[in-house]
Amino acid sequence: MTSAASIGYYPGCALHGSSNDYEASVRACLGALGVELCELNDWICCGATAAHSLNHNLAVALPARNLAIAERDGVRELLAPCPMCSMELIRGNRAMARDEKLRRKMSEIVELNIKGETKVLNLIQVFQGIGMDAIKAAVKYPLTEISAACYYGCLLTRPPEDLRFDDCEHPSSMETIIEALGGKTVEWNYKTECCGAGMTLANTDTVLELSHKILSNARAHGANCVVAACPMCHVNLDMKQGDVERRYGVRHGMMIYYLSDLTGLALGIDAHTLGIDRHFVVTK
């Protein structure tokens, strides 16, 4: 990919709903880098956290439908900014590639032919495709005040047999991008630990405990913010941060940025356009 490109875009449910600030941020920063996002026409939910536990055929058919739409419309590269969505789409693609009978069955179910021609990308991979030299050249305001704890969470690099763009235990791709933007990053212990993911409502106590550990460890290692690329992680570390502070009697006051937020700021895009002013924790 070059910095003047058009790629497919699968927003998934979160970016058109509770995490629409993430969508604003992704669109703004990629637009500034010359990447046009073409949203899939008539996309559906990928199945996210529930389908695989209910019905195997459904768990493959839901991402298969979206992949079939992408192929039908000639989309060769498809951005899914939510790690859960990108994982489901990638796993669906690989399952059908391994099993010709399954591929034919899914083509029948979704009423579209699936060949497996569309490559699914997460946001980091899109930045990698643009290239660090191009990103550095576009920086207007280097992130000299940023000392970020890059938080990958559970799903951005796992399962490793399907998501092969970075080391699943010791990833560094996000750090490379932040440093290209003129910021600093910290070495810390919780970059791939779970924040509780979708258990925000079903098991709040666990989410608060895990989020407290993540925020505390980031601060202890010198971070003044956490950068994430997952809407679920952002919800638990940002929206629930006030509950964490009340539960544990501490003051974290830690900004939680999307990777696209910091990219956009470095490119000269204002915080309102990026949706940063809609975050729950906003510090100067």
- Answer with the residue of higher pLDDT: 59 or 31: 31
Query: What pLDDT does residue 50 have?
Result: 65
Mean pLDDT, the chain, integer: 94
What CATH number does domain 5-123 carry, 3.40.1110.10, 1.10.600.10, 1.20.1050.140, 3.40.50.11720? 1.20.1050.140
Per-residue pLDDT, averaged over 215-235, amounts to 97
Location of structure tokens 């703004």: 28
- For the domain made up of 137-278, the CATH class stated in words is alpha beta
Beta strands across the sheet bearing 255-258: 184-185, 147-151, 225-228, 255-258
Q: Domain segments of the chain: what residues?
A: 5-123, 137-278
Confidence (pTM): 0.95
Query: What pLDDT does residue 1 have?
Result: 59
Location of structure tokens 């875009």: 9
pLDDT beyond 70 at 284: no
Confidence category of residue 3, pLDDT binned at 50, 70, 90: very low
Confidence category of residue 57, pLDDT binned at 50, 70, 90: confident
Residue 277 CB neighbour total at 10 angstroms = 11
Query: What pLDDT does residue 283 have?
Result: 84
Query: What pLDDT does residue 189 have?
Result: 97
Contacts of 55 (CB under 8 A, 6+ apart): none
User: 3-state secondary structure string, 223-249?
Assistant: CCEEEECCHHHHHHHHHCHHHHHHHHC
